[in-house]
Amino acid sequence: MAVTLKEISRELNLSVTTVTRALYGYDDVAEGTRQRVWSLAETLGYVPDTTAQRLRKGRTDTLGFVIPTFGPRFSDPFFSEFLAALGNEAARLGFDLLVSTRAPGAEEQAAYRRLVEGRRVDGLILVRTRRHDERVQYLIERDFPFVAFGRTDLEVDYSYVDSDGEAGFRQLVEYLVGLGHQRIACLSADPELTFVAHRLTGYRAALAAHGIRPDPNLLIQADLTQRGGYEAAGRLLDRAEPPTALVCLNDLMALGAMRAAQQRGLAVGHDISVTGFDDIPLAENAHPPLTTLEQPVYDIGKRLCAMLVRLIRGESLDDAHVLLAPNLIIRESTGPVPM
Amino acid sequence: MAVTLKEISRELNLSVTTVTRALYGYDDVAEGTRQRVWSLAETLGYVPDTTAQRLRKGRTDTLGFVIPTFGPRFSDPFFSEFLAALGNEAARLGFDLLVSTRAPGAEEQAAYRRLVEGRRVDGLILVRTRRHDERVQYLIERDFPFVAFGRTDLEVDYSYVDSDGEAGFRQLVEYLVGLGHQRIACLSADPELTFVAHRLTGYRAALAAHGIRPDPNLLIQADLTQRGGYEAAGRLLDRAEPPTALVCLNDLMALGAMRAAQQRGLAVGHDISVTGFDDIPLAENAHPPLTTLEQPVYDIGKRLCAMLVRLIRGESLDDAHVLLAPNLIIRESTGPVPM
DNA sequence: ATTGTAATCCAAAACGTTTTGGCTGTCAAG
DNA sequence: CTTGACAGCCAAAACGTTTTGGATTACAAT
């Protein structure tokens, strides 16, 4: 089918060895020979077979990324931005990107094993780490190169980049307290997710710092989706004594929460304050625009990718544990507590 | 490093041949031998080397998908849902998914060539086809298996699934006309994109059918993003005689357009009507919820994936050209023309 | 004793590449 | 005339797998 070295070598009465060496610019090939090889390769449209190169070189030049998807209608701007970062940076570094989509659980674990044990990729990027992350455990155990967006509670060392969600939430809640809010609800998610746990810590710390007794009724657990935020906010707002502020674990939830509030005739930013996390592009275009904590997802993805490649190449990392402070962006979805 | 057939065979005093055949259940292996092989493979944790299998079998069992990204902050729910569909379906069919991200243009074309000519994938999925799509032309020329979400104007035959944007927009605009709208603006995009051209055709047809003279000032070209919709809507609304309805090429633009309207004090759904296309999850949670045309992105992705695999396997396709009618979902962003 | 036939097993080739460790011939220096 | 150096080329091995086309043995049937 496709053109191989053998064909070129046969055509020119050369050995396969000489042909590769000519193509790769070794200095033990006569100038004339090199030119003949190049020109024939050109006209025949020779492109080396990637699979053969991989087998021979013992590496795939491929990075793996398993997206944790939730339900069929999976749609999260966070991931598309992150993916764009990985894709662009991987390409820049000469790596392919192999993507799987799997809901967390047994099938996800199997996907990781396929990638690692079948030697399909040279390294992996993890995202949405969990406090006791089996993926991290597994990869450490197998000594397989990986980097993660997020920390874990495991007593192991690995390379990560993470947002300081605790500091971010502390700052955010202090800002709300400063506006006079006391009944600040938190639309949380599965606290096994590390970033959820961190943000909750920050939430609690800020309340405690201001002598506000944490009300367990104001902490509610939901999905990290609009629907999750919509439903959870609905339940909170229908209480006898509803909260005056809704702190949501991410922007998607916040958008859902805003809708729930608006359906109940509340003016977001006046009657009730709502906040998110991520600063997805939609946050700015929400109505009203959403107060949120920005984390530079694209840069994080890019950085992780570069770190992983250095790991694969056996180079040393000077910045193996990066913690970035998120940036509080105040927009119109928050305001002083209503009289 | 990893366990190979050779090691297993050495350990058991068997040939490599017998070991593979034992593992794959050929009937010329003694039952006892088969068991010894299996149990040793198990304890050593043998997993075949994917690269070697690929080289030997002459196929990669990998599908390629190049996401057309626009700018670094790429974030489009349409693509994350489509990607989830591809990922899940590919996995189900035993295929890996190789993803690249590239802005349309020369680099994109180079990415396709790398994938095809380097024999990195067995087939490709195209999305956002263009009227004179160089990708389609190239792949047809090389006789490489591919499927596309979208049609082209090229005189070539290939397998696709597409939404009938023309019919959808016709229905949508007729609905708006029925509400009394006459000055219906269209926030369009690059008409070289086939789906843009189709939707525009539907828009014009509906206007013509009701004797409304198309006003070139009401047709404006923008990016398919919130920002694009926001800016274009802003320009339209600041005119002396602004439109009463904004028909947007997709939901993201519509969300941006809504914000532009709201910033000018207009109540969307009353003072002005806004529509989108796609029915991304955010459309439902917008404020007000967005009237839009739903297309089953997940199903389309799944279907395309299955079609591609059949193509790769040389099986025949009975449904090589699928046109799906989008579904008009009327929400609160549209209403009667204001008095 | 020969033939036939199962039942087991395996050597070698092949996929396409890269690298190792040469080999051959020419020419200048001794 | 020999030696050494150098330029230019290449055979073979290797990466790990699967498949082809036997080979070997045992045993039953002739």
We report the CATH number of the domain holding residue B159 as 3.40.50.2300
Q: What is the pLDDT of residue B154?
A: 97
Confidence of residue B165 (pLDDT cuts 50, 70, 90): very high
Helix (H, G, I), strand (E, B) or coil at A221: strand
Mean pLDDT for B71-89 is 90
The half-sphere exposure of B323 on its side-chain side, counting CA atoms within 13 A, is 8
Query: Which H/E stretch holds residue B161?
Result: strand B159-163
In a domain, A44, yes or no: yes
Amino acid whose CA is nearest the C1' of D6 = A28
Q: Are A301 and A157 in a shared domain?
A: yes
Q: Does A55 touch chain B (CB under 8 A)?
A: yes
Q: Beta A146-149 vs A123-127: how paired, if at all?
A: parallel
Q: What is the pLDDT of residue B12?
A: 95
Is the separation of the CB atoms in B233 and B218 below 8 Å? no
For A77, the closest chain B residue by CA position comes to B75
Q: How far apart are CA A170 and CA A178, in angstroms?
A: 12
Q: How many CB pairs under 8 A join A and B?
A: 177
Q: What is the pLDDT of residue B189?
A: 97
Q: Are B279 and B303 in a shared domain?
A: no
Confidence of residue B193 (pLDDT cuts 50, 70, 90): very high
Which among A5, A75, A127 is positioned nearest to A282, based on CA atoms? A75
Shortest Cα distance, chain A CAs vs residue B57, angstroms: 11
Q: Are A138 and A176 in a shared domain?
A: no
In a domain, B331, yes or no: no
Q: What is the pLDDT of residue B329?
A: 98
Mean pLDDT for B249-269 is 96
Q: Are B252 and B157 in a shared domain?
A: no
Name the closest nucleotide to A55, judged by C1' and CA. D15
Shortest Cα distance, chain A CAs vs residue B120, angstroms: 6
For B71, the closest chain A residue by CA position comes to A84
Mean pLDDT for B20-45 is 95
Sequence-distant (6+) residues with CB within 8 A of A169 are A198, A199, A200, A201, A202, A203, A206, A247, A293
Q: What is the pLDDT of residue B76?
A: 87
Q: Encode burial over A231-246: b for 16+ CB neighbours within 10 A, e otherwise.
A: bbbbebbeeeebbbbb
Q: Which of residues 77-96 of B touch A (CB under 8 A)?
A: 77, 79-81, 83-88, 91, 96
Name the closest nucleotide to A20, judged by C1' and CA. C18
- State yes or no: pLDDT of B97 exceeds 80: yes
Percent of chain A with pLDDT over 70: 100
Q: Which of residues 32-61 of A touch strand D (CB under 7 A)?
A: 33, 52, 55-56, 58
Query: Which H/E stretch holds residue A254?
Result: helix A251-263
- State yes or no: pLDDT of A257 exceeds 80: yes
Least-confidence region, from A163-167, B9-13, B72-76, B140-144? B72-76
Q: How far apart are CA A189 and CA A74, in angstroms?
A: 17
Confidence of residue A308 (pLDDT cuts 50, 70, 90): very high
Q: Does B12 touch chain A (CB under 8 A)?
A: no
Of A67, A98, A285, the CB nearest to B259: A285
Mean pLDDT for B189-207 is 98
In a domain, B227, yes or no: yes
Q: What is the pLDDT of residue B104?
A: 92
CA of B26 to C1' of C8 (A): 12
Cβ of B15 near strand C (distance < 7 A): yes
In a domain, B22, yes or no: yes
Q: Does B126 touch chain A (CB under 8 A)?
A: no
Mean pLDDT for B155-165 is 97
Shortest Cα distance, chain B CAs vs residue A220, angstroms: 20
Cβ of B73 near strand D (distance < 7 A): no
Contacts of B96 in chain A (CB under 8 A): 98, 100, 120
In a domain, B333, yes or no: no
Q: Are A126 and A193 in a shared domain?
A: no
Q: Are B152 and B169 in a shared domain?
A: no
Mean pLDDT for B190-198 is 97
Per residue in A170-189, pLDDT (tens digit) is 999 999 999 999 999 999 99
Mean pLDDT for A309-317 is 94
Q: Does B64 touch chain A (CB under 8 A)?
A: no
Q: What is the mean pLDDT of chain A?
A: 96
Per residue in B295-313, pLDDT (tens digit) is 999 999 999 999 999 999 9
Q: Are A153 and A267 in a shared domain?
A: no
In a domain, A55, yes or no: no
Q: Are A170 and A291 in a shared domain?
A: yes
CATH number for the domain harbouring residue B44: 1.10.260.40
Q: Which of residues 131-150 of B touch strand D (CB under 7 A)?
A: none
Mean pLDDT for B90-112 is 96
Residue B217 sits in which domain range? Answer: 165-295
Q: How far is CA B141 from the centre of its chain?
A: 23
A314 conformational bin, left if phi > 0, alpha if psi -120 to 50, beta if neither: left
For B86, the closest chain A residue by CA position comes to A101
User: Do A281 and B226 lie within an 8 Å CB cutoff?
Assistant: yes
Per residue in A25-81, pLDDT (tens digit) is 999 999 999 999 999 999 999 999 999 999 999 999 999 999 998 877 788 889 999
In a domain, B251, yes or no: yes
Q: What is the pLDDT of residue A205?
A: 98
Q: What is the pLDDT of residue B285?
A: 85
Q: What is the pLDDT of residue B75?
A: 85
Q: Are B127 and B202 in a shared domain?
A: no
Q: What is the pLDDT of residue B321?
A: 97
In a domain, B218, yes or no: yes
Per residue in A83-131, pLDDT (tens digit) is 999 999 999 999 999 999 999 999 999 999 999 999 999 999 999 999 9
Confidence of residue A285 (pLDDT cuts 50, 70, 90): confident
Mean pLDDT for A247-276 is 97
Q: How far apart are CA B155 and CA A258, in angstroms?
A: 49
User: Do A49 and B118 lie within an 8 Å CB cutoff?
Assistant: yes
Q: Are A99 and A200 in a shared domain?
A: no
Q: Does A259 touch chain B (CB under 8 A)?
A: yes
Q: What is the pLDDT of residue A70?
A: 81
Name the closest nucleotide to B16, judged by C1' and CA. C10
Mean pLDDT for A245-250 is 98
Q: What is the pLDDT of residue B74?
A: 85
Mean pLDDT for A320-338 is 97
What is the number of structural domains in chain A? 3
Q: What is the pLDDT of residue A71?
A: 76
Name the closest nucleotide to B56, judged by C1' and CA. C15
Contacts of A77 in chain B (CB under 8 A): 75-77, 80
Residues β-bridged to residue B65 = B99, B125
Q: Does B305 touch chain A (CB under 8 A)?
A: no
User: Do A50 and B120 lie within an 8 Å CB cutoff?
Assistant: yes
